[in-house]
Amino acid sequence: MAIITVEHLQKRFNLEAGFFARFGRFVYAVNDISFHIGENETYGLVGESGCGKTTTARLLVRMYESDGGRIIYRDNTEVGSLGRRELKQYREKVKYVFQDPARSLNPRMSIYEVLVSGCRGSSRWPRGSGREKQLREAAAAILEEVGLGKEDLERRPSEFSGGQRQRISIARGLLMQPDLLICDEVVSALDVSIQGQILNLLLDLRNKRDLSFLFITHDLKVACYFCDRIGVMYRGELMEEAPAAELYKRGLHPYTKLLFSLENAPVKNSKLLITAAGCPFAERCPIAEERCFREHPDLLDAGTGHKVRCHNSLA
Ligand SMILES: Nc1ncnc2c1ncn2[C@@H]1O[C@H](COP(=O)(O)OP(=O)(O)OP(=O)(O)O)[C@@H](O)[C@H]1O
Ligand code: SF4
Ligand SMILES: [Mg+2]
């Protein structure tokens, strides 16, 4: 069963300032994407900076409202039509671990407050005399699970290294026992050796818990190592989707091949998508043909759960 199903999701931002303002033009940050994440599945969303990964994540937890499409939680809960109270419950089940741990942890709070501040309104910990004790026990247990100790509860975020802060962010995400943890570039700001430690922690959590992941990264190799299935995103669109092992062996899309060939995956900014004619990748594609600049390719089935959006990759 799918935990999350995304259908034709769209989000555009108005370019209020600058040259384009007078044309009333938009950035199509997320442009008609569809995918699902199964129970206990790790789905990777991969692409260069600016392709729409974070916007997708924010749409999933309704930090942004979408301009089109829908998001279904489990069988039939339409996320876009949840009322305030239901949305709060949904956000306990679908947790977003932010891209930047340095900014997402309030420096004035103790780690205990960082971890539990979102829990006090939850029905999991009802108001009453035993609540703080229960919260403290739960916070200590989760800190130990992510490799820190209960003595760390009284410390401040600034006393921890980048890797440790990322562990704290993950712990905060896990405290509500979510069904889906959205990890947005959780390793990209860290040194390579620390990245490995955090990935191992996530692998450990994956094995121990009933938990699905949306794993967002610009690094396709890291995604292939960590994920079950991967969607490759470019300028707001999914260009290819496949099981990770299949993508690694037989990446079909020219953009996927480019991402694999980049040493250490340097992050480049995709230009903004202003109009939707032709293939979004045409300007950079080594095998682009005249048709590619005119006709927008569909995402087509390439067999064994593999889909690709390219006029020339299925021939
Ligand atoms: N709040 C916003 N207002 C206007 N434009 C935005 C906003 N958020 C994102 N965008 C634009 O939407 C596009 C997608 O941005 P997004 O942050 O989703 O990309 P990303 O894939 O997460 O990139 P990164 O790897 O750098 O985090 C970019 O062109 C970005 O400039
Ligand atoms: S459709 Fe054309 S431009 Fe786009 S990726 Fe395929 S070959 Fe390249
Ligand atoms: Mg981002």
Ligand found nearest the CA of 288: 2
With 90 as the cut, is the pLDDT of residue 266 above it?
Answer: no
Atom number of ligand 1 nearest to Cα 99:
27
To the nearest whole number, what is the mean pLDDT of the chain? 91
**Best of 10, 15, 20, 55 to mutate for ligand 1, by most ligand atoms within 8 A of CB?**
55
Q: b/e per residue, 106-122, with b = 16+ CB within 10 A?
A: eeeeebbebbbebbeeb
- pLDDT, mean of residues 274-299: 90
Residue type, 42: T
Q: How confident is the model at residue 101 (pLDDT cuts 50, 70, 90)?
A: low
Confidence of residue 180 (pLDDT cuts 50, 70, 90): very high
Long-range contacts of 12-16 (CB under 8 A, 24+ apart): 12/67, 15/272
pTM for the full model? 0.94
Ligand 2 centroid to residue 287 C-alpha, Å: 7
Sign of the C-alpha dihedral computed for residues 17, 57, 162 and 105 taken in this order: positive
Instruction: Output the pLDDT for position 124.
Output: 84
Look at residue 104 in the predicted model and tell me its pLDDT: 78
Percent of the chain with pLDDT over 90: 77
Q: Tell me which H or E stretch contains 239.
A: strand 237-243
Please tell me which residue, 279 or 276, carries the higher pLDDT value. 279
Spatial separation of the C-alpha atoms in residues 79 and 90, rounded to whole Å: 8
Residue closest via CA to ligand 2's atom 7 equals: 288
Q: How confident is the model over 187-234, as pLDDT tens digits?
A: 888 888 899 999 999 999 999 998 999 999 999 999 999 999 999 999
